[in-house]
Structure 1
Amino acid sequence: MSGVMYAVDDLLQLATACFQAAGVTDEDARWTAQVLVRADLQGTATHGLSRLSAYVSGICNGKIKPQPEMKIDETGPATAVIDGDQGLGPVVGKIAMEAALDKAKVAGVGITAVRNGNHAGAMSTYTELAASRGCIGFALTNAQPAIPPWGGRKAYFGTNPIALAAPQKDGQPVSIDLATSVVARGNIIMAAKRNEPIPGGWAIDANGDPTTDAAAALKGALLPMAGPKGYSLALIVEILSGLLSGGNFGYNVGSIYDEGTAPPGTSMFFMALNPDFFIGQSIFETRVSQLAREVTSVPLASGHERIRMPGDRRQRLENERRLQGVPIASETEKELRQICKKYSITMPKSLAPKSPVAY
């Protein structure tokens, strides 16, 4: 994969301007831009600015409301159900996690279930928000059908990601963020845009046969990670997000990429745990740091150079790219230019316009 380097601030300004032009409020535009650009900073291009075109198109065709009227139903001292009113997923996700954090300050735990949401980007965004405030963050979301139940050939569950982050005494939080499919669906979308094959074992076509054709995979289904175990995890996500919130689940969850104007109606689940109500903030963070040291000092297996904690690689890339610039794939750059043209926004200059870099 290759791309052209852009300065972080330029990309943030560009994405913010695009959302503002589409009718999003300044505050929500800035936050959503941060969510997308940070995904590119951390090497998760499938959830970065490659999604900007779909978000803006979703606003234009009515799938996403640029200024939703969200409702928070305070169902108890530690719980709430939130109606996202089809707003931008990152905006809905932030409000939901912040509501959970507010409850965790008082009750030790805060849980929010969300209905009528949208694609929210990388779920680690919200768990790391919790960790930055001293809590353990847990976040789930369902999505449009992408993987079949184990033994099936038709997609029913979304890739249904699971994320958890825990603060530690020194350094960045331990941050786990994974899809319950073999790979995130964004990898298939990116391969289809490039007309490139995908590895075997990733997906099946509409007939249930293994395929390396990305376009056929999008019409078929991704495979669950670890076979029946991945299917079971996807089922857990569906129960906690779709069922508990009273929102869409299974076949009823749509996509910002689908034709038509029906909103996706994505469902989500957020939880914040306050360590002060257990063993204390400082003690907990010290124990997380101890855990990280012990895990990464385990003797290495043959062929491995080091052991990383989840989130380490993403944070290392973010630190580097904030200084050196962010690589943007040519397909994404083309989409960005089209949006800029539509809204008469000036496309920023690349840091190395004649020298694509590998990433």
Structure 2
Amino acid sequence: MYSVDDLLQLATACFQAAGVPDEDARWTAQVLVRADLQGTATHGLSRLSAYVSGICNGKIKPRTEMKIDETGPVTAVIDADQGLGPVVAKAAMETALDKAKVAGVGITAVRNGNHAGAMSTYTELAASRGCIGFAMTNAQPAIPPWGGRKAYFGTNPIALAAPQKDGQPVSIDLATSVAARGNIIMAAKKNEPIPEGWAIDANGAPTTDPSAALKGAVLPMAGPKGYSLALMVEILSGLLSGGNFGYNVGSIYDEGTAPPGTAMFFMALNPEFFIGQGTFETRVSQLVAEVTSVPLASGYERIRIPGERRQELENERRLHGVPITSETEEELRQICKKYAIAMPKSFKPTSSVAY
């Protein structure tokens, strides 16, 4: 297990060494470490090496210089200029929140962005300020349209968070694929098979080989329904922002130096302009209470609300430490060696724990 402070210190130092300004380095480190805290290792420090490589090969600009076009009282379009994804996404949600505070709703569309980590990071930011947060992003081709055998859409995640009167926000965060592509990347790093039904190879045949899956496509969740949701994300992010979509969206993992040009969509809704802040949060709490009190099906011990398990894991790991895979640990050590960064003195896991 690794201490949260050590991981934050290490990740921040890596980003600073790669040329990222201090404040942006700290924020991006927080985004990645929090993903590991919440059990989403696919979006945690396992991505740090790709982020740093992306900076080094020109896919990601370390100094983010966004151009925010205030197109209306509740809208803005942001050209991220290939900046660091988490920095851009935070600014986009904060812009939406500023507008929602005044007008009840704020919407921002982002073009020329990069991988921004877990979308729940930004919807939960909105919830922490009393608003409903809604976020989505396109990504490099990973999902075929229903009936096709070649990847066209990204895994195109969708997230929503809503504050409640007592307790953590309801926080929904899901990919439109059967599994997040990050899970397949992680399996490939560990040379482990993936479950049947997750992916197809380049010829359209089912595969459990993660390397073949990365050359092929991840299947959409719920068949045509997942395909439809991926299409919706592409319309709201890629098309509405004037950014890349479909085949034109790249990846920080691709060879070459062409930036991914990821597009994103953020919305903040201020309940005060609808039924009032307090009333809304009370109703969310009532909804949660009613949902979790539904009689249990056989074999289940409880009904969870989306985001609940992630928060429980975060609370536990802040106290007892964070597990990371041996592959991720080795990547961190290689980055530190490259930039002559001293490993924290206490960076000695008591056990090797993999997700």
With the shorter chain as reference, the TM-score category is over 0.9
Residue in 1 that maps onto 2:333: 337
Correspondence 1:46-195 to 2 at 5 A: 46-195=42-191
Deviations for 1:41-77, whole angstroms, at most 9, x for unmatched residues? Answer: 0000000000000000000000000012210000000
* Mapped pair 1:293 → 2:293: no
Residue 55 of structure 1 aligns to a residue whose secondary structure is: helix
Maintained 8 Å contact 2:83/2:113: yes
Q: Which amino acid aligns with 2:163?
A: P
- Show structure 2 runs of 5+ residues with no match: none
What's the offset of the Cα at 1:348?
A: 2.5
Choose the corresponding residue for 1:214, options 210, 214, 217: 210
What's the offset of the Cα at 1:154?
A: 0.2
Residue 299 of structure 2 aligns to a residue whose secondary structure is: coil
Residue in 2 that maps onto 1:40: 36
Alpha-carbon distance between aligned partners in 2 of 1:14 and 1:354, rounded to the nearest angstrom: 18
CA, structure 1 residues 354+34, in 2 after alignment: closer, same or farther (shift >3 Å)? closer
* Mapped pair 1:240 → 2:233: no
Alpha-carbon distance between aligned partners in 2 of 1:101 and 1:353, rounded to the nearest angstrom: 40
Choose the corresponding residue for 1:249, options 245, 252, 258: 245
* Mapped pair 1:283 → 2:283: no
Root mean square deviation of aligned Cα:
0.9
After alignment, is 44-53 or 344-353 more displaced? 344-353
Deviations for 1:76-96, whole angstroms, at most 9, x for unmatched residues? Answer: 000000000100100000000
Q: Which amino acid aligns with 1:105?
A: K
Residue 70 of structure 2 aligns to a residue whose secondary structure is: strand
Maintained 8 Å contact 1:325/1:351: no
CA, structure 1 residues 66+358, in 2 after alignment: closer, same or farther (shift >3 Å)? closer
Alpha-carbon distance between aligned partners in 2 of 1:331 and 1:125, rounded to the nearest angstrom: 24
Residue 302 of structure 1 aligns to a residue whose secondary structure is: coil
What's the offset of the Cα at 1:349?
A: 4.5
Residue in 1 that maps onto 2:196: 200
Residue in 2 that maps onto 1:6: 2
Residue in 1 that maps onto 2:321: 325
| Fraction of identical pairs, as percent | 90
Residue 139 of structure 1 aligns to a residue whose secondary structure is: strand
Residue in 2 that maps onto 1:262: 258
What's the offset of the Cα at 1:347?
A: 1.7
Residue in 1 that maps onto 2:268: 272
Residue 56 of structure 1 aligns to a residue whose secondary structure is: helix
Q: Which amino acid aligns with 1:356?
A: S
Q: Which amino acid aligns with 2:206?
A: P
Maintained 8 Å contact 1:6/1:349: no
Alpha-carbon distance between aligned partners in 1 of 2:350 and 2:20, rounded to the nearest angstrom: 34
Maintained 8 Å contact 1:243/1:249: yes
Alpha-carbon distance between aligned partners in 1 of 2:167 and 2:250, rounded to the nearest angstrom: 38
Alpha-carbon distance between aligned partners in 1 of 2:236 and 2:7, rounded to the nearest angstrom: 35
Residue 69 of structure 2 aligns to a residue whose secondary structure is: strand
Report the number of matched residues: 355
What's the offset of the Cα at 1:214?
A: 0.4
CA, structure 1 residues 358+190, in 2 after alignment: closer, same or farther (shift >3 Å)? closer
Maintained 8 Å contact 2:324/2:354: no
Q: Which amino acid aligns with 1:36?
A: L
After alignment, is 338-347 or 241-250 more displaced? 338-347
Maintained 8 Å contact 2:2/2:349: no
What's the offset of the Cα at 1:353?
A: 3.1
Q: TM-score scaled by structure 2? A: 0.99
Q: Which amino acid aligns with 1:168?
A: Q
Q: Which amino acid aligns with 1:357?
A: V
Maintained 8 Å contact 2:166/2:285: yes
Residue in 2 that maps onto 1:18: 14
Q: Which amino acid aligns with 1:83?
A: D
What's the offset of the Cα at 1:354?
A: 4.7
Alpha-carbon distance between aligned partners in 1 of 2:345 and 2:223, rounded to the nearest angstrom: 45
What's the offset of the Cα at 1:350?
A: 5.3
